[in-house]
Structure 1
């Protein structure tokens, strides 16, 4: 369900795993379908391009991929012909960091941050009004495009000499270097403005990691990924994970040959509730 989604989020986070008797810094790759209903966690020993390709293998050419600027994604993007979306929240963070680092150009940075906030205000308005994808597209092209034009003018003409290695210079250059990918959300109301929804599904994992510290083996890490996939998907759809697992595990223990896609959380709920969709908890738009 994740790989067949036309729009998908992707990210990864470190996890310490005991491999061959030694602890290694490995990776938990995470993804979220564009509709926000399907979460995926996949363990891999590496953060390489090959690992990213393995995670996204099965995606179709022309699928949209919301990511940060991790170079590992270059390989699957090229091999699978994916269209990149760049995270606006990640871009915003660069300007916040420059502001917090005591920059002498705080008024300028505040101006950029206000403009970015206007983009999110437009997104929240569309969400509050229950806009369709077509209506959101029209709204973005009418209002968000104007805001982005103003932002680009400020980036290109800051009104002071920009030192490339300063925090302000790095923030400006990061935005400009990722401009096309960052503004691509204007093309379609179904496209997200940032990768915050995926960061939200990672958060319980990172909090848990502070407590359990490590996986005792690679098989343990793989099983952990399966459990996080199931439980997170259940939570996104307001399905009680205990009810789901109790029923599905019982079925599989008796008739394992009957396992199919109808046993996935959303399909399981629909099968047991007359075809009705579960109540979805949207993670978009972000509250930046």
Structure 2
């Protein structure tokens, strides 16, 4: 099945934030550029979407989808129309054209969150999960071989998936490695991180 892109609104908003950063502009003194009212309006509109996401955080995918279609979809429709109108009247040399076109040229991907409640509005969580690899890669110069690198990637995926499901990776891996050989194929799904249940601990017995 082909991958379906869903773009990150944190990245889509970033250039507007920079152009609307009043505090940063004040620190530039005489070299400061004029604050763009279009950037301010873009940030205001996008922040309305982020506010809805904060309210629905932790709800089921089905409930998030319902609320997004009810509240976020109209905001996205208005935002797209406003961006296209601003793009049409701005000079091609305007510093607003690039961030506006970044959104419009990828609009289907940015708007996909109102069609699937499982999609996150940003990929911040994924980037945080990869931060350890970015910090440690200089110490991990070699994997020994291409196959070694592939195995490293597989293990990293397993470990991070366990963490995303609030599971201790060490306990999970130790348990599934001990059980998987005897597990019937039709029950293998029970070992997936989102289905896995830790084995019941054996209560200690005291001598009578």
Scaled by the length of structure 2, what TM-score is found? 0.70
Runs (4+) off by over 6 Å: none
Conserved 8 A contact 1:98-1:171: no
The answer to which structure has the higher helix fraction is 2
What does residue 154 of structure 1 align with?
A: 82
What does residue 187 of structure 1 align with?
A: 115
The answer to which structure has the higher strand fraction is 1
1:165-204 superposed matches below 5 A: 167-204=95-132
Secondary structure of the 2:96 match is helix
What does residue 45 of structure 2 align with?
A: 115
Structure 1 204/166 Cα, relative in aligned 2: closer, same or farther at 3 Å? farther
Structure 1 227/105 Cα, relative in aligned 2: closer, same or farther at 3 Å? same
| Alignment root-mean-square deviation, CA | 3.5
1:161-199 residue CA offsets vs partner (Å, 9 max, x unmatched):
634465421111111111222113223434433333332
**What's the CA shift for 1:258?**
5.7
Q: Where does structure 1 lack aligned partners over 5 or more consecutive residues?
A: 1-58, 60-79, 274-288
Aligned residues: 189
Q: Which structure is larger by alpha-carbon Rg, 1 or 2?
A: 2
2:73 counterpart (129, 145, 168): 145
Rounded to whole Å, the distance in 1 between the matches of 2:77 and 2:107 is 11
Q: Are 1:125 and 2:125 counterparts?
A: no
Structure 1 227/172 Cα, relative in aligned 2: closer, same or farther at 3 Å? same
Conserved 8 A contact 1:103-1:168: no
1:13-24 superposed matches below 5 A: none
Structure 1 159/166 Cα, relative in aligned 2: closer, same or farther at 3 Å? closer
Scaled by the length of structure 1, what TM-score is found? 0.53
Structure 1 104/215 Cα, relative in aligned 2: closer, same or farther at 3 Å? farther
